[in-house]
Amino acid sequence: MCRHEVKKCPRCNTPFECKPGNITQCQCFGISFTDEEKAFIEQKYNDCLCRNCLLQLKSQVELFREKFIYGHR
């Protein structure tokens, strides 16, 4: 039997359904992260985040990377 639980996103406090027992149906499925992005998120949060926050954080890491790379030329 698949495990599902309702969680609240620790970043925005929005409730969402986490489906670790059926990952292909989980709201986070299909979002891929580099090791750098994973480390950035894990430094700030120790539980699952909602899809919106995951996508926003992924964008923030990319924006930070671009500012750092292009700002140091």
Over the stretch 34-73, which tens digit does the pLDDT of each residue have?
898 898 889 999 999 999 999 999 888 776 666 555 565 5
Domain ranges of the chain: 5-71
Residue 54 near residue 12, CB atoms below 8 Å: no
33-to-1, 12, 39, 72 alpha-carbon distances in Å:
28, 20, 10, 24
What is the reported pTM? 0.77
Of 17-21, 26-30, 52-56, 66-70, the range with the lowest mean pLDDT is 66-70
Residue 45 near residue 11, CB atoms below 8 Å: yes
Distance CA(8)–CA(67), nearest Å, equals 31
